[in-house]
Amino acid sequence: LIFGCFIFIVVSYVQVFRAVLRIPSEQSRHKAFSMCLPHLAVLSLLIGTAAFAYLKPPSISSPLLDMVVSILYSVV
């Protein structure tokens, strides 16, 4: 289910970027990208911290690292 959601998000972003690249005006394209890229950055941070928090191997687990990752994931 999670992998399906991730694929759906990736396909959606590809569609958005394809639509933005078809915009004839350079200024309009720049404006559209400036609105899309911060959202993509936040989404990447969220997915990255969640993946690290839930998929890290138990061999590198320590209470301090778990606390830092939990705080980072909560803040993001």
pLDDT in tens, 26-72: 888 888 888 888 888 888 888 887 777 777 777 777 888 778 877 87
The answer on pLDDT for 75 being more than 80 is: no
- In the chain, helix, strand, coil percent, each to 5? 85, 0, 15
CA 9/CA 61 separation, integer angstroms: 30
In this structure, what DSSP letter does residue 32 have? Answer: H
Which range of residues forms the domain containing residue 9?
1-75
> With a threshold of 0.85, does the pTM exceed it?
no
The type of residue at 30 is: H
CA 69/CA 53 separation, integer angstroms: 6
Number of domains making up the chain: 1
- CA torsion sign for 68, 71, 72, 73 is positive
